[in-house]
Structure 1
């Protein structure tokens, strides 16, 4: 039996606790085994989580076969897609901390010996990994798998976000209403995390790159039978980790975080991964500036060798069949810390040597280190007088011709106002759309400017305008964009000083975000600035807006 559960289940002193377990059906045989929790974020609201009940059954099978007992419990999981563009999005990033806290409470209150974390989507995955790092018990993350792509539209297989791009096309008379309505039925044909390389799939890939998932587990589609076999093997693996006393903090380390950053850069993953990896690192006591330095440094020497939607026509099923994260890590293995231990009980080096690929190589999706798609950074950290504490952008999703852009500011103090202006034709070539007061505190919750970017794309302005914000973006966004601007406007950052018509330069080649004003003018404007009233003063968002840290520090809650 694992030591933790034995602490509260040994006879005769703890027979009361044993009776509580027996009241829900545990037997003496069960209580002689390590008690393994399954933190399951299954629900009927999120496509990426709709299959997790079935996944959990196969995890159970593996745990029992390996000699463990199972204690499953539920975890919240909200859908970024459903929450887009309205007040619900305020809750999405803050849910990450709630998820970590929820799992911590359940594991510690019941002294579980190990934990299997079942999730698939944007904030659920990092919340679970934060909990694993915090708890320092044996833990494995298992994703539900990505969705299959939809009907072909605009030159590639569609996905759920195609609807937002198509709305811009509908508004600009590029498609008709019948085409638009048919797309609604055909763009999301199965359950699973969205079929593009957004934050959900990026964070599942980060879990694998960290060594917290079994090799190949990130990208097997949700509807493949292999997903169920992975679930059973995950159940077996967690019992082995408990036996060997390999805890999550031995797997998640600064070195494995660097491996994840390498994979992030090599694949052109979501900018949100910067927030989430920093938050996971914070659980281990790793300073935010240390992580920012790592993103900056490693981006300089990690070419992009995988190109997936939104950077190409290929989706997550194509990425999986091309070899997925094991293939990417094999190609860049000389850049990795191969000695890092993983949830297999083996090192990264051993895992990569043993991995068996089931499909032929597809160099249109995953190239090689000597023939990369780009030597440019997959993600980039920007600094400048508009972002003294950093901002984040994604060169992999930006046309190279837009890597240096200067334009005139069109300023909006919330997401909705900007979206209305875009759809009504008030944004023109050469504009830099500025959306502020959407940061961790000001939003609160750092909403994604997903719809704004999709509307810009649909209106044909993706290569003619830029968008900057103290909010975030979806991993599926493309165009010229900069997010996570820190300090945020609500904290009196320079973004609060920008006025309509000001010239702004985004220079990814130099890592610069610059407002064309003298320092004295910026200072004078900020001296006249008044902090806005909080949008929420009660409930969870009232708490979050008071405690949220800067985006540059992972937007974690701090007293």
Structure 2
């Protein structure tokens, strides 16, 4: 019988070629010896651990101890754990926005997964752009990878109420702008909003992405919601290390679990969570790396069939610790069972149906509703199309004011973030509560980098008069922790020459959630005049900004970079 040549593993994988492959491995082992590894350890299969600890990233405060727990699991299972640093993203710490650097982190992580010797990987992330960046990288490198999230923070009890970042941040700040919370009080609240390690304690982008990563199959279902400071989080980290070693002998690659079926399951979960609008962009980018396309019209069809069942902030009352204690993702998926593709598999090779059959049956209906008594009978997101958004836009109806769903009104337009900051609180601003606020030139092609500025503040003079919500529209994003009647991701964006670029204050715009329409009510002859006068904004001159500007795609394609996607996608 012919002898099958064994593929190199561990430190022997992907050795540099100096014209003498054996010397390359000899050199690698020699330098590894200087780190104190024995020859026996160097012969073991290698699990790489993407370490995203950073003094700038509060969400990742527990990463060092998680990495140590992963190492325990790897060593106990017979592997050699090797941690390596990558870009770490924290929304409050980055200018112009962490979204501008998500693709940089994905590129960095993909390069390190591909270039360094490892048989499998554990990706340690948490803050909302890190998880999609890591999964995008894993999909492109196609290295068997386990996702390990840092987990959500706990809510803080303070003077009769519970607080947690960042929905409560926004709620209190809106009250401060309206004048019914004092400067002293807002200062007191500032120190009570985030008091433990972990990601935002509500169903914002970080928690939504954790749930979607688990639904896709990259980690156990309950690992999506365990609090950051809970001992279970360390046990899950240990299990992640053990699972990564298992993937070396029983490989399951990202390309095998990111499928049309698993992506549609993830969309169902996104809708049922009342989850973050950002998660749609991220899931589109992850799926795109595996050659799976997300159609906004299909999303809309799913939304009409998929109820919101999770009663958490920003669309409800609970926090992530309540969701976890109520049965977590397992309980939610069991409620959605007949809507899911139960044949989709996880990293253990188990089908989703098998996972649900084996899970405990407990559920707390306070936070995870039955299908017969949903938070909303339809999904949290809707897609909009029309003359203002030919390629689509998104509205989070589960966090919006229903009385504003059918609105035709005059618009007040802000041409970029500087214009917004300069005029929004000017008492001379010509605006009423019935107007539509529009922000343009804040999309992915702009220096603003598609920030979470879609949550335009209510003008102070209206806030002081008691206005809590009004229709707002933009080509940028909003935080998953935000709320309001807000149209996002208008595509093509203004900087790409989309119709949004032509909107002027005083124009009339029509929003119809019922008809899924977003239309600019201006005569075509006038639009043609404006189009002829429009000029493309200046492009950045160097560095990452220049590369992003040249390669970034629009929101319906996940704001990924064209050269990082597979051919034909």
TM-score calculated relative to the size of structure 2: 0.91
Find the residue that maps to 1:89 and give its secondary structure: coil
Aligned to 1:486: 491
Aligned to 1:521: 526
Instruction: Specify the structure having the higher radius of gyration (Cα).
Output: 2
1:334 Cα offset (Å): 1.2
458-467 vs 299-308, which moves further: 458-467
Indicate the RMSD between aligned Cα atoms, in angstroms: 2.3
1:127 Cα offset (Å): 0.4
Aligned to 2:337: 333
Aligned to 1:17: 28
Q: Using a 3 Å threshold, how does the CA distance of structure 1 residues 417 and 478 change in structure 2: closer, same or farther?
A: same
Find the residue that maps to 2:489 and give its secondary structure: coil
Find the residue that maps to 1:509 and give its secondary structure: coil
Aligned to 2:566: none
Separation in 2, partners of 1:315, 1:465: 26
Residue 350 (structure 1) aligned with residue 348 (structure 2): no
1:394 Cα offset (Å): 0.6
List gaps (5 residues or longer) in structure 2.
1-5, 16-20, 564-569
Separation in 2, partners of 1:268, 1:408: 29
Aligned positions of 1:110-189 closer than 5 A: 110-151=116-157, 157-189=163-195
Aligned to 1:80: 91
Q: Using a 3 Å threshold, how does the CA distance of structure 1 residues 278 and 460 change in structure 2: closer, same or farther?
A: farther
Aligned to 1:368: 370
Find the residue that maps to 2:173 and give its secondary structure: helix
Q: Using a 3 Å threshold, how does the CA distance of structure 1 residues 399 and 349 change in structure 2: closer, same or farther?
A: same
Return the match for 1:378 from 377, 380, 386: 380
Q: Using a 3 Å threshold, how does the CA distance of structure 1 residues 154 and 395 change in structure 2: closer, same or farther?
A: farther
Aligned to 1:307: 311
C-alpha deviations, 1:238-275, integer Å up to 9, x for none? 11122111112112212111111010011111111111
1:366 Cα offset (Å): 0.8
Residue 247 (structure 1) aligned with residue 253 (structure 2): yes
C-alpha deviations, 1:405-436, integer Å up to 9, x for none? 22221111112432443344544301211111
C-alpha deviations, 1:420-454, integer Å up to 9, x for none? 43344544301211111111102442111166348
Find the residue that maps to 2:295 and give its secondary structure: helix
Separation in 2, partners of 1:402, 1:138: 46
Separation in 2, partners of 1:104, 1:158: 33
Aligned to 1:49: 60
Contact 2:259/2:292, CA 8 A, preserved across alignment: no
Separation in 2, partners of 1:2, 1:49: 36
Return the match for 1:500 from 463, 484, 505: 505
Aligned to 1:471: 476
Q: Number of matched residues?
A: 549
468-477 vs 543-552, which moves further: 543-552
List gaps (5 residues or longer) in structure 1.
none
Find the residue that maps to 2:191 and give its secondary structure: helix
411-420 vs 385-394, which moves further: 411-420
Residue 323 (structure 1) aligned with residue 327 (structure 2): yes
C-alpha deviations, 1:465-488, integer Å up to 9, x for none? 211001111111111101111011
Contact 2:132/2:209, CA 8 A, preserved across alignment: yes
Off by >6 Å, runs of 4+ in structure 1: 9-13, 454-458
Separation in 2, partners of 1:254, 1:454: 40
Q: Using a 3 Å threshold, how does the CA distance of structure 1 residues 144 and 454 change in structure 2: closer, same or farther?
A: farther
Aligned to 2:79: 68
Separation in 2, partners of 1:480, 1:154: 29
Separation in 2, partners of 1:311, 1:440: 27
167-176 vs 138-147, which moves further: 167-176
Separation in 2, partners of 1:108, 1:157: 42
C-alpha deviations, 1:166-223, integer Å up to 9, x for none? 3332233201222111101111111100112111111111101111111211111111
Return the match for 1:274 from 250, 265, 280: 280
